[in-house]
Amino acid sequence: MKRARMIIDGRAEDGADRFASINPYTGQEWATVPAATPGDVGRAVDAARGAFHETWRTTPGVRRAQLMTALADLLEAHGDALATMESSDNGKVIRETRNQMTFAARNLRFFAGYADKIYGRTVPLDHPGMFDFTRRRPYGVAGIVTAWNSPIALLANKLPAALATGNTVVVKPSEHASVTTCELGLLAAEAGFPPGVVNVVTGDGAVGDALTAHPGIDKISFTGGSATGARVAEAAARRLIPLTLELGGKSPNIVFDDADLDRAIVGAVAGIFAAAGQTCIAGSRLLVHRPIYEQVSEAIVARARAIRLGDPLDPETEMGPVANRPQFDRILALIEAGRDDGATLLTGGHAAEGPGRGLFIQPTVFGDVSPDMRVAAEEIFGPVLSIIPFDDEDEAVRIANATDYGLAAGVWTRDLDRAHRVADRLEAGSIWVNTYRSTAAQAPFGGVKRSGYGRERGEEALAEYTYVQNVMIDYSGSARDPFSIRT
């Protein structure tokens, strides 16, 4: 039985109370995790504040970079073990969790490269004898809250930019998958980060609430559902502190009749069945040009039926169970809503007789979905695809944008002009053309509308964790009129 521990001020702590983490494949308890009290959260925030003022804000960027690189090395060295733990915690297939550890290390290295390159600007003024420059200052303590679907990958979208820019952090992973975040906290201590720079507190939503409402937090970065995101935004608004929100999606994946269909079908399958559809960027609405509607639907259904369900730890497995019971129940309820609303069930539609005692759901495809049906409008966060036909480019764009969300979108076409035209009209933070679910440390990521605001990864992320300080210096040596503002 794995015994996860919180990390507060560089020390691993068991917590006064503990709760069980259930492996969604075996249905068995496989780890126990501390249930942080409000007092624990307060100590973690105090430790982060102390570390910020005493060491981290004045630690040279080159040293921050060394520590981040050391952490990346450790993440890679322990990548297989961490991937196994994460797959045991949330049921995600090991071929994905292994890559996510590599991705996390890559993000740390990318932002380590910035740690000693957080430049300001000199600002030309109208007045001789005056000099003006800007610099970017860290906010202080960043409170980071993540969802259960990809704890390390989601954290890797936040932690590196926060640390590189000189912030200290308190991280709260989801109660449904906390273990690897605790392990990362231990690795940070092993890498040599000063105590208090990286803190991890564990527990349920109340712990997230206590963290985001804590007066010692200067910045919040949150990944989760839109409803929780709105609550977090209220907490941030009460204290007027900056916030980055990475929320849900209902992303359109648009296939035109001139697309390379073999690739488009792989992209559609990756969009919805990878990670059992439990990704914020899931291409859960497949918009298909009417002339190829039957052909594409048949091909997707054939591939969906052939998906290998199984043990997430088996490298041959393509789809594991969904991560937890509430999620399982919600997906089945939304499948029922699809039936009730009159969508055509092309395949799936039930819990699967998977191996083990896992919470498996059959890869499910609805055809003839109209945009007003619940399956087309609500984020399902499961392996459920809605195929929606369209007649022309204008209609495709109109349907694609007719959603509350705006996280991602895919466009499949061989026509370069069309690719640009459509990408230009889509309301989403990430657009993929002839690919789907591709990510890079260098490429900024984030949403619009109910998918949130702010950007992670890429140079843009640095701005999320820093404020611009302007410094104006008068070296003219002359006194000025005290009763008039100088412009």
Active site residues: 246, 280
Residues binding ligand NDP: what is the number (CB under 6 A)? Answer: 31
Residue 326, phi then psi, degrees to nearest 5: -60, -40
| Separation of alpha carbons 21 and 33, rounded Å | 7
Nearest distance, CB of residue 467 and ligand NDP, angstroms = 23
Nearest distance, CB of residue 42 and ligand NDP, angstroms = 16
Q: How far apart are the first and last CA of the chain?
A: 67
Interacting stretch for ligand NDP, rule CB under 6 A, among 72-80, 224-232, 297-305, 390-398? 224-232
Q: Is 231 in the site for ligand NDP (CB under 6 A)?
A: yes
Q: Give whichever of 212 and 386 is closer to ligand NDP, judged by the CB atom.
A: 212
How many CA within 13 A on the CB side of residue 96?
A: 28
How far from 224 is each of 33, 151, 194, 247, 366, CA to CA, in Å? 20, 11, 29, 5, 26
| Separation of alpha carbons 404 and 451, rounded Å | 8
Residue-by-residue DSSP string for 388-423: EEESSHHHHHHHHH-SS--SEEEEE-S-HHHHHHHH
Site for ligand NDP in 171-200 (CB under 6 A): 172-176
Judged by CB under 6 A, the residue of 8, 108, 115, 145 near ligand NDP is: 145
Nearest distance, CB of residue 435 and ligand NDP, angstroms = 18
Interacting stretch for ligand NDP, rule CB under 6 A, among 13-21, 147-155, 418-426, 473-481? 147-155
Nearest distance, CB of residue 437 and ligand NDP, angstroms = 12
Nearest distance, CB of residue 135 and ligand NDP, angstroms = 29
Q: Is 381 in the site for ligand NDP (CB under 6 A)?
A: yes
Interacting stretch for ligand NDP, rule CB under 6 A, among 8-16, 66-74, 170-178, 394-402? 170-178
Q: Is 97 in the site for ligand NDP (CB under 6 A)?
A: no
Q: Which residues contact 336 (CB under 8 A, 6 or more apart)?
A: none
Interacting stretch for ligand NDP, rule CB under 6 A, among 15-23, 204-212, 344-352, 470-478? 204-212
Nearest distance, CB of residue 94 and ligand NDP, angstroms = 19
Nearest distance, CB of residue 99 and ligand NDP, angstroms = 16
Interacting stretch for ligand NDP, rule CB under 6 A, among 48-56, 226-234, 306-314, 393-401? 226-234
| Separation of alpha carbons 252 and 258, rounded Å | 18
Q: Is 225 in the site for ligand NDP (CB under 6 A)?
A: yes
Chain centre distance of CA 333: 25
Determine the residue with CB nearest ligand NDP: 208
Q: Is 223 in the site for ligand NDP (CB under 6 A)?
A: yes
Chain centre distance of CA 332: 24
Judged by CB under 6 A, the residue of 164, 247, 351, 409 near ligand NDP is: 247
Q: Is 280 in the site for ligand NDP (CB under 6 A)?
A: yes
Judged by CB under 6 A, the residue of 212, 221, 251, 317 near ligand NDP is: 212
Structure tokens belonging to residue 361? 């759901």
Q: Is 248 in the site for ligand NDP (CB under 6 A)?
A: yes
Interacting stretch for ligand NDP, rule CB under 6 A, among 62-70, 142-150, 300-308, 349-357? 142-150
Strand partners, 309: 319
Q: Is 10 in the site for ligand NDP (CB under 6 A)?
A: no
Nearest distance, CB of residue 272 and ligand NDP, angstroms = 13
CB 276 within 8 A of CB 321: yes
Q: Give whichever of 145 and 187 is closer to ligand NDP, judged by the CB atom.
A: 145
Q: Is 205 in the site for ligand NDP (CB under 6 A)?
A: yes
Question: Which residue bears the tokens 């990390």?
Answer: 7
- 3-state DSSP call for residue 9? coil
Question: Which residue bears the tokens 């977090």?
Answer: 232
Query: Residue 345: is it exposed, middle or buried by C-beta count within 10 angstroms (0-12/13-18/19+)?
Result: middle
Structure tokens belonging to residue 411? 């466009």
Residue-by-residue DSSP string for 175-197: TTS-HHHHHHHHHHHHHTPPTTS
| Separation of alpha carbons 435 and 430, rounded Å | 12
Q: Give whichever of 225 and 356 is closer to ligand NDP, judged by the CB atom.
A: 225
Query: Residue 189: is it exposed, middle or buried by C-beta count within 10 angstroms (0-12/13-18/19+)?
Result: middle
Judged by CB under 6 A, the residue of 142, 232, 319, 441 near ligand NDP is: 232
Nearest distance, CB of residue 129 and ligand NDP, angstroms = 49
Q: Is 405 in the site for ligand NDP (CB under 6 A)?
A: no
DSSP label at 243? Answer: E
Judged by CB under 6 A, the residue of 224, 252, 321, 363 near ligand NDP is: 224
| Separation of alpha carbons 96 and 278, rounded Å | 12
Structure tokens belonging to residue 286? 């497949």
Q: Is 347 in the site for ligand NDP (CB under 6 A)?
A: no
How far from 91 is each of 157, 181, 223, CA to CA, in Å? 21, 16, 19
| Separation of alpha carbons 264 and 286, rounded Å | 10
Site residues, ligand NDP (CB under 6 A):
145-149, 154, 172-176, 204-205, 208-209, 212, 223-225, 228, 231-232, 246-249, 280, 379, 381, 407, 447
